[in-house]
Amino acid sequence: MDAALIDASALPWHARPDALVRMVSDLIADELAHLRPGGASLPDRPWPTDLALDEQGLGLDSLERLSVAAALNEALHLHESGIEDLLLARRRFGEWLQVAAEGLAAFDARLTFRTSGSSGLAKACPHALADLLQEAEHLAGLARGTRRVLAAVPAHHMYGFLFTVLLPERLGCNEVVDIRRMTPQALVATMQPGDLVISHPAHWSVLASHAGRLPPGVHGVTSTAPCPDALARRLEDIGLETLTQVYGSSETAGIGTRMSPATAFRLMPFWSRAADDGLQLLRVTTDGSISSQGIQDRLEWLDDRQFNIGGRMDEAVQVGGINVFPDRVRKVLLDHPQVADVQVRLMTPEEGSRLKAFVVPAPGIDAMALRSDLWVWTESRLTAPERPKAFTVGHQLPRNDMGKLSDWSLTMPQPFAQL
């Protein structure tokens, strides 16, 4: 390994209090956002260790406490050490941190991350810590010279954990700065040579539009969604030294990277193609075993190591026992002259068993005026199982704090209007 990198025998990630605090607090906030569709009202972070979990602090009622504790147990595998029940007996944020630290000290070989749900229901994705450290070592070789990590992503998601928890340790960075609540102007004012900004395309787009000129010596990483070539070039134009694009998912972790929109992605060294169709990849894990992993996109292979992303292979969902394709329904709705953007997905079991659509009107179009047009439009262009039975209209598609498309509630309050 490069002498400039930190040896893998360094302290485990959870022995760094700042890393554990960020991961646990981000997980709690995210879980509460799902439990409170109207928005979770939480104290500003970082939270003090004496912050109460009940109504005097985070406001968790008994059901919320049970759900959040279950999510934390799942993510950190606290059940492996038999310590998970202590979460329900503790009353303060700092006490939960202590339970997490004790559990991880006894067992930290596996972690579980949940998908964002951008293409359906969220699912749990367990990973061996050794495999994640293997990836962090590779990524550290792409980020030599980093002095600080500026994080625009939460630490409890796969991408955030790799780049804001494991990578700083591999690089010897002692400072990780949370920039999620900074304006573009404030962010630029804090940037220094040697900074590595960990972000996603939606955040990079805002930065490119409003930040002005970036200071020299600042590098960036983007993932969670495709980065448009025009955005990558715009960031280069305003002074970003390099932008590393990472392709992967919660199921696979990182698969490949590229440093320029003019080049193809290259597989990380522990990945290889499994077959000529390119739908399966093989990973050599740290214990020497080989695992096969399906991928969710069509990859256009230039050779055995290089590829371009050809687009997502959207899976069918069943409505009344019939396969329907949300992406086809989305394209039909996008053909409506008053629709600027739209997301289509299956209702949650609590909402029903049909499709629903979130629609962004074109500029100047009244949200409620779309109602009759959308019903007529879909009736003449889609089969009965394909037609959405609920339309939610808002000024922008719902996204999570990773910038990825997220689910929405059919009882979503204003400023969104339910049709």
User: DSSP letters along 357-400, please?
Assistant: EEEEEPTT--TTTHHHHHHHHHHTTS-GGGS-S-EEE-SS--B-
Q: Are 224 and 403 in contact (CB under 8 A)?
A: yes
| Sequence-distant (≥ 6) Cβ neighbours of residue 332 within 8 angstroms | 377, 378, 381, 382
**End-to-end Cα distance, the chain:** 58
Q: Are 126 and 112 in contact (CB under 8 A)?
A: yes
Extents of the domains making up the chain = 13-108, 125-167+189-311, 317-418
Asked if the domains 125-167+189-311 and 317-418 are classified in one and the same CATH topology, the answer is: no
Q: Are strands 148-151 and 124-128 parallel, antiparallel or unpaired?
A: unpaired
Per-residue DSSP letters for 42-88?
-PPSSPPTT-BSSTTTT---HHHHHHHHHHHHHHHTGGGGT-TTHHH
pTM for this model (two decimals): 0.80
In order along its 419 residues, the chain shows pLDDT tens digits of: 333 444 444 689 999 989 999 999 999 999 998 888 666 689 999 999 999 999 889 999 999 999 999 999 999 999 999 999 999 999 999 999 999 999 999 999 999 999 865 555 678 999 999 999 999 999 999 999 999 999 999 999 999 999 999 999 999 998 999 999 999 999 999 999 999 999 998 899 899 999 999 999 999 999 988 898 999 999 999 999 999 999 998 899 999 999 999 999 999 999 999 876 667 899 998 888 898 888 878 889 999 999 999 876 656 777 766 778 898 899 999 999 999 999 999 888 778 889 999 999 998 888 888 877 898 899 889 888 899 999 999 889 998 888 888 889 887 544 444 44
Question: How many other β-carbons are positioned within 10 Å of the β-carbon of residue 26?
Answer: 23
The verdict on domain 125-167+189-311 having CATH code 2.40.50.100 is no
> Quick one: tokens of 324?
């329907």
Question: How many other β-carbons are positioned within 10 Å of the β-carbon of residue 401?
Answer: 19
Task: Give the CA distances from residue 117 to residues 33, 34, 120, 208, in Å, rounded to whole numbers and listed in that order.
Answer: 14, 11, 5, 27
CATH topology of domain 317-418: GMP Synthetase; Chain A, domain 3 (3.30.300)
